[in-house]
Amino acid sequence: MKEKCIFGPVQSRRLGMSLGINLTPYKTCSLDCAYCECGKTTDLTIIRKDYIPIEQVQKTLKRYSKSSLFRSKPPSCVTFAGFGEPTLHSGFGSIAQFVKKTFPDQHLVLITNGTLFPTHPELFQEVQPIDIILPSLDAGSEEIFKKIDRPHPSITLASLVDGLIQLRENYHGQIWLEVFIVEGINDSESELYLIRDAISRISPDRVQLNSLDRNPAEDWVNSTSPQRLIAIAEFLGAELLSKNSINIQVDALV
């Protein structure tokens, strides 16, 4: 079956009107997050390959760029997201360059779990055309990382954080770090201290707190109230703002 490689444009809370690009078959990812709104991961992998032929992606994007839909209502950004981890596609770098050339007036955005950076340093070069990278960090301890994000066995939280620190050093676009709060799991004081420490080391431009909005992969994932998210933002922000000038946003409220 031919995979759908573009979707939308859809209105995004964070990004405005966004055209989505999907580069993997359903549901191919290096994590199996309990909160994933796409459902459970069926192919838990760290192997980079040509999951959807590059020519198919380029042809579809070219057609869309010439369509009356694009001309009458151009999106504000083009976003790599979809049914899995976009950087698993071995042609990610050349597709990103193609998108940048085809849509020069749109912001180019990458939503990624960030887990491939430590083992695939070529990605630091491949992400250069991207304007905004939104990586995830949902835990401060290995135990909670395994519970919420259920990684491929080769991935640890320590390697993820190291990869994001290296990303900061090698990439000069915007990094907006997303922290997904799962009530009763990663919102204890001790876990939040560890998350705050990791954020401080990664030094993103912005932190966005998020919580459940649609159906999760696992029914034990509960959403967190806006009031609680605000309290967590204040806890994280008190030190981060003064030390690193990192802007903390409660995504559910923007």
164 touches ligand SF4 (CB under 6 A): no
Structural contact between residues 152 and 44, judged by C-beta atoms closer than 8 angstroms:
yes
Nearer to ligand SF4, 82 or 91 (CB): 82
Q: Tell me: cis bond preceding 27? Omega within 30 of 0 counts.
A: yes
Please count the residues of this chain forming the interface with ligand SF4, following the rule CB under 6 A: 10
Site string for ligand SF4, 6-45 (x = CB under 6 A): -----------------------x-xxx--x-x--x----
Q: How far is the CB of 39 from ligand SF4 (least distance, A)?
A: 8
Q: Show the tokens assigned to 74.
A: 């151009």
Which pair of tokens denotes residue 37? 């709104």
Write the interaction track for ligand SF4 spanning residues 82-111; mark x where CB under 6 A is met and - where it is not.
--xx--------------------------
State which residue, 157 or 240, has the beta carbon closest to ligand SF4: 157
Q: From the CB of 36, what's the least distance to ligand SF4, in Å?
A: 3
CA distance 202 to 244: 10
Which of 40/228 has CB closer to ligand SF4?
Answer: 40
Residue 90 beta carbon to ligand SF4: minimum distance, rounded to whole angstroms:
18
Question: Minimal distance in Å, beta carbon 113 to ligand SF4?
Answer: 4
- Rule CB under 6 A: which of 109-138 touch ligand SF4? 113
CB of 189 vs ligand SF4, minimal distance in Å: 25
- 210 interacts with ligand SF4 by CB under 6 A: no
Three-state SS string over the chain comes to CCCCCEEEEEEECCCEEEEEEECCCCCEECCCCCCCCCCCCCEECCCCECCCCHHHHHHHHHHHHCCHHHHHCCCCEEEEECCECHHHECCHHHHHHHHHHHCCCCEEEEEECCCCCCCCCHHHHHCCCCCEEEEECCCCCHHHHHHHHCCCCCCCHHHHHHHHHHHHHHCCCEEEEEEECCCCCCCCHHHHHHHHHHHHHHCCCEEEEECCCCCCCCCCCCCCCHHHHHHHHHHHHHHHHHHHCCEEEEHHHC
43 versus 162: smaller Cβ distance to ligand SF4: 43
Cβ of residue 180: shortest distance to ligand SF4, in angstroms? 8
Q: Smallest distance from the beta carbon of 31 to ligand SF4, in angstroms?
A: 4
Given the rule CB under 6 A, which residues bind ligand SF4? 29, 31-33, 36, 38, 41, 84-85, 113
